[in-house]
A and B are shown apart, each in its own frame.
Chain A
Amino acid sequence: MYLTNINLGQYVPTGSFIHGLDPRAKLLSLLLIISAIFPSRTAIGVVLWAGVLVAIVAASKIPWNIVIISARPVFFLVVFTFLFHIVASLFRNTGMLQALNMAFFTSSRLLVLMLFAVMLPLTTAPLELADGLDAMLQPLERFRFPAHECAMMIGMALRFIPLLMQETDKIMRAQLSRGARLDQGNIFQRVKAFFPVLIPLLVIIFRRADEVAIAMEARGYEGGAGRTRRKPLIWRKTDTLIVILSGLAVALFIILGA
């Protein structure tokens, strides 16, 4: 019930070739791969994509147990999907075997897809990821879309989410110590019981936000205009190659799938 052990896909530097890729290349490839896995209808497709995933994890030099731990929140979703399919089949009068088959296929497809997504923050430093997003969203600035601010927000969220998790854990423990019943009663009682955690958390979030804003101002931040980068994004030939490869793989799967 405590949250300290959730490690929400934090960056694991290993210096692999995957880590060295341009974040834009990784983002583009991920988009391509996800859009290919989603519509895939054959078990073979999922198995092949799982193979690609295994190859990427190996190339990233990140141990599997870290990947699994980072993806822990995702497993709930996968298990939920599985159960949902089973339950749904009961109402649809399909055969149990067929339902199991379908549930297994859908949930494993979701799992592979999620694990691909988890690999992005694991192999990309939060700031690089934010810079990559910033660069990719830049064309939208013309339509007054706050691209830099959005990217900055995502970067800051990645920095502060683990901290707020710890904070939530600490508040929960403190209120449990005061006899709070966080895990008893019906849904309404539970929601009400959570106020003693929620309110202090909101106060802390607002105070932190305020202090962070002041600290950023003190370090001369005034938005994206005129800002430079310590490590400017450099698009190399390998980045082009990776995106082309992803594109080709996707095309191949779509053709085979059809």
Chain B
Amino acid sequence: MNAQNNSNTPLIGVRSVSFSYSSKNTGRALNRVSFFVARGERIAILGHNGSGKSTLVKILGGLIAPTEGTCEVNGINIQDIEFRDLRRTLGMVFQDPENQIVAAMVEDDAAFAPENQGLPPAEIQARVDDALRRVNMTHKQGASVSALSGGEKQRLALAGALAAKVDCLILDEATAMLDPKGRLDIERTLREMHSEGMTIIEVTHQLEAAGFGDIDRVIVLAKGEIRWEGVTSDFWDMAETLGFGVPDSLKFRKYCDTHRLKFPDDMAGINPPPLKFPGSENPGSERFRIRGLSFRHDDKNKALTNINAEIYAGEWLSIIGRTGSGKSTLVQHLNALYKIQEGQIFLDGQPLPQKGEEVHTLRQKVGLVFQHPEDQLFSPTVKDELAFAPKNAGFKGPELEEAIIFGLECSGLGRDFLGRNPIALSGGERRLVAIASVLSARPDCIVLDEPLAGLDASYQKQILSMLGKLRDEGRTVITITHDLDAALKHSDRVLILRAGSKIQEGRPRGIMDELMKSLEPEAWPEVLRISAEIHSVNPKFPLLYDYQELLSCISPT
């Protein structure tokens, strides 16, 4: 292999690759895709759901063969490379860390690849130590995998690939399931490895501001073809036309450049105009009243401590807090999945039922959508799926038909979806069906846990507008989310939990101070980070979360 291993041969060469899942070579997932990746380069392949990027990953990793064209590593067709040699050149990290970790203990898992290579024990141990050090996990080497956070698990998966001593890492949506902190940790590790000369190919549906400046090149994939290709700085100028969001921090940097403003010094003298308070001034009637709610899981510390709160009809409440702050435990009290141990909850003035037939009535009134609800679909048709909850709630005949149509209309999907099999739909459509399958019971209150996670921009927008509409109809909408931007921009009120206690609740505008204290700076909305920096040189400048508002404060005209 060394013969081709000179600097002129690109590490990865994709030559006119096409792929079709059908044997007749119709409906191609990839169509004549060509590009090269040089040794030491870090590139991002961007595409929306269904753009063919997952297929491309499998071809790049040699896991499936292209229908037409070739994929080359060091100038050799991937199909002709010995399995063992290929696996020493290419390492892969996938979306769900759980599905990549094969052993129950951290060190045992990191050792899997070098063990497969048949290395002597001392060498395996050296590889494991080195890989864990590089992903900053040395302190967890003896830990059990089940005790790791999502971000740590993904770093372990990264270490598992590194331990094979690969030249190139291919990451398939590797940060999509992580919280902001976890993403940043992965980004730091990638930066370090890139600086040490590792070739990195990231496949993702959204480029993050954190990767800006370190990613050399961007390739945009759409409908199985390359739509755009260029250096990262050029990409941001094109991003909106290509259907990708631009992080606020980059928009702001550009704004400062074009207006020749020095950040933050030039903003020290600004006298910002008074701010308007958006959102409904008069909340509807009180729906939930929570008094002194505490909860303890079996033989563990308190999950909730003395929570007091009111939640109203016709309002959208966002509950935010770190992983493990008690958000899920709190909302699962609202439909009696968790029984009250201490304290009280009232729904429309009545104590919340805890058992018997009344609980079923409660669950019709308070709908709960779990994380990744598309994993809970089970019916042969969308119609049956939508009928499940209303049937359980006792809907019959025309009432049931109406309920099904109501759910479907909320989701924005057409009538033709009723007869289709949920399993065969795309990920985004499945999410919509899953949410609709809870809404079809026509609940007064709908609670959603991370409804936007893992979706691309267009589906996120659709779900946000659906929730806004439900709120405007007078229903109560409660969301749990890591996505602070969405929480602050769309909800009427925000409730912050920390270690099982309520830290604050209020209008988004009123909680900025507390937000900064409760969350690590990495998790702050970018506009908050910018306005906080201006605030530090100009105390008159307010703490903000909305980009337009930031601009109107900087140049009031």
Inter-chain contact B63/A203, CB cutoff 8 Å: no
Interface residue from B99, B332, B393 paired with A211 (Cβ < 8 Å): B99
A155 interfacial contact with B, CB 8 Å: yes
Cα A208 to Cα B164 with chains together (Å): 23
Set of chain B residues within 8 Å of A43, measured between Cβ atoms: none
Contact between chains at B94 and A215 (CB < 8 Å): yes
Cβ–Cβ < 8 Å partners of B98 in chain A: 163, 208
Which one of A4, A176, A204, A220 has the greatest number of beta carbons of chain B within 10 Å? Answer: A220
Given contacts A11-B144, A176-B363, contact A217 B378 (CB under 8 A): no
In the bound complex, how far is the Cα of B91 from the Cα of A28, in angstroms? 39
Indicate if A180 sits at the interface (CB-CB under 8 A): yes
Closest residue of chain A to B100, judged by CB? A215
Chain A binding surface SS class: helix
| A177 in contact with B337 (CB, 8 Å) | yes
* Contact present for B370 and A170 (CB under 8 Å): yes
- With A127-B104, A159-B102 given, is the CB distance from A178 to B63 under 8 Å? no
Decide if B277 is an interface residue (CB 8 Å cutoff).
no
Closest to A196 in B: B378
Please state if B99 and A231 are interface contacts (CB–CB under 8 Å).
no
Let me know if B145 and A218 touch, CB within 8 A.
Answer: no
Query: Bound state CA distance, A214 and B95, in angstroms?
Result: 12
B430 to chain A, nearest CB (A): 11
Q: CB of A216 within 8 A of chain B?
A: yes
Give the segment of A81-89, A221-229, A239-247 that binds chain B: A221-229
Q: Give Cα A180–Cα B390 distance, bound, in whole angstroms.
A: 10
- Residues of B with C-beta under 8 A to A215: 92, 94, 99-100, 102
Instruction: List CB contacts (< 8 Å) of B124-168 with chain A.
Output: 124-125, 128, 142, 144-146, 160-161, 164
Q: Most A CB atoms within 10 A — which of B107, B124, B392?
A: B392
Question: Within 8 Å of chain B (Cβ to Cβ): is A156?
Answer: yes
**Contact yes or no, A156 B392, CB < 8 A:** no
CA distance A175 to B107 in the complex (A): 37
Of B87, B145, B360, B438, the residue contacting A219 (CB under 8 A) is: B87
Partner of A220, one of B88, B120, B146: B88
**Contact B370 A173, beta carbon cutoff 8 Å:** yes
Name the distance in Å between A209's Cβ and chain B's nearest Cβ. 9
Residues 178-217 of chain A, each 1 if its beta carbon lies under 8 Å from chain B, else 0: 1111000000000000011001100110001001101111
| 8 A Cβ contacts from A127-184 to B | 127, 155-156, 158-159, 162-163, 170-171, 173-181
- Contact between B376 and A171 (Cβ–Cβ < 8 Å)? yes
Which residues of the other chain, A, contact B120 by a CB distance below 8 angstroms?
Answer: 228
The CB with the most chain A CB atoms within 10 A, among B161, B297, B378, is that of B378
B116, A177: Cβ atoms closer than 8 Å: no
The reply on B347 being an interface residue by CB < 8 A is no
Nearest chain A CB to B548 CB, angstrom units: 37
Cβ–Cβ < 8 Å partners of A195 in chain B? 378
Residues of the A chain whose Cβ atoms lie less than 8 Å from the Cβ of B391 = 179
- Taking the complex as formed, is A39 at the interface, i.e. its CB lies under 8 A from any CB of chain B? no
Q: Within the assembled complex, what's the spacing in Å between the Cα atoms of A217 and B92?
A: 10
B118 within 8 A of A: yes
Q: Is the CB of B297 within 8 A of A5?
A: yes
Partner of A214, one of B63, B332, B369: B63
B373 within 8 A of A: yes
Q: Which of A65, A158, A159, A230 contacts B121 (CB 8 A)?
A: A230
User: Which residue, of A171, A174, A178, A215, has the highest number of chain B Cβ atoms within 10 A?
Assistant: A178
State whether B392 touches A181 (Cβ < 8 A). Answer: yes
- The interface residues of chain B lying within 8 Å CB-to-CB of A156 are 102
Closest B residue to A228 by beta carbon equals B118
Determine whether A118 belongs to the interface, using a CB cutoff of 8 Å to chain B: no
For A226, the closest partner residue in chain B by CB is B118
Contact code string B418-460 (vs A, CB < 8 Å = 1, else 0): 0000010000000000000110010000000000000000000
Contact A178 B104 (CB under 8 A): no
Question: Assuming the A-B contacts A196-B378, A204-B375, are A5 and B298 also in contact, with contact meaning beta carbons closer than 8 angstroms in the complex?
Answer: yes
Size bracket of the B interface: 35 or more
Against B, the Cβ 8 Å flags (1 = close, 0 = not) of A14-57 are 00000000000000000000000000000000000000000000
Known: A10-B146, A175-B376. A216 touches B102 (CB 8 A): yes
Contact A179 B360 (CB under 8 A): yes
Contacts of B94 in A (CB 8 A): 211, 214-215
A200–B160 Cα gap in the complex (Å)? 29
Quick one: CB contact mask for B340-368 with A, threshold 8 Å, 1 for yes?
A: 00000000000000000000100110011
Is the C-beta of B260 less than 8 angstroms from some C-beta in chain A? Answer: no
Question: Is A102 in the interface zone, CB < 8 Å from B?
Answer: no
Q: Is A232's beta carbon under 8 Å from chain B?
A: yes
Q: How far is the CA of A203 from the CA of B128 in the complex (A)?
A: 34
With A179-B441, A218-B92, A219-B87: A13-B142 Cβ-Cβ less than 8 Å: yes
Contact (A219, B113) CB under 8 Å given A178-B389, A230-B121? yes
Given contacts A178-B363, A228-B119, A229-B121, contact A173 B104 (CB under 8 A): no
Residues on A with C-beta less than 8 A from B87 are: 218-220
Interface residues of B in 376-395 (CB under 8 A from A): 376-378, 388-389, 391-393
What CA separation (Å) do A125 and B141 show in the bound complex?
14
Chain A residues in 8 Å Cβ range of B240? none
The answer on a CB contact under 8 Å between A219 and B332 is no
Contact B103 A199 (CB under 8 A): no
Chain B residues contacting A221 (CB-CB under 8 Å) are 112, 116
25 chain-A/chain-B pairs, Cβ below 8 angstroms: A4-B297, A10-B144, A13-B105, A13-B144, A126-B105, A127-B105, A155-B103, A171-B376, A173-B368, A174-B368, A179-B360, A179-B393, A181-B360, A196-B378, A196-B388, A199-B378, A203-B375, A203-B423, A208-B99, A215-B92, A216-B112, A220-B88, A220-B116, A228-B118, A230-B108
User: Which A residues contact B (CB, under 8 angstroms)?
Assistant: 4-5, 10-11, 13, 65, 69, 125-127, 155-156, 158-159, 162-163, 170-171, 173-181, 195-196, 199-200, 203-204, 208, 211-212, 214-222, 226-232
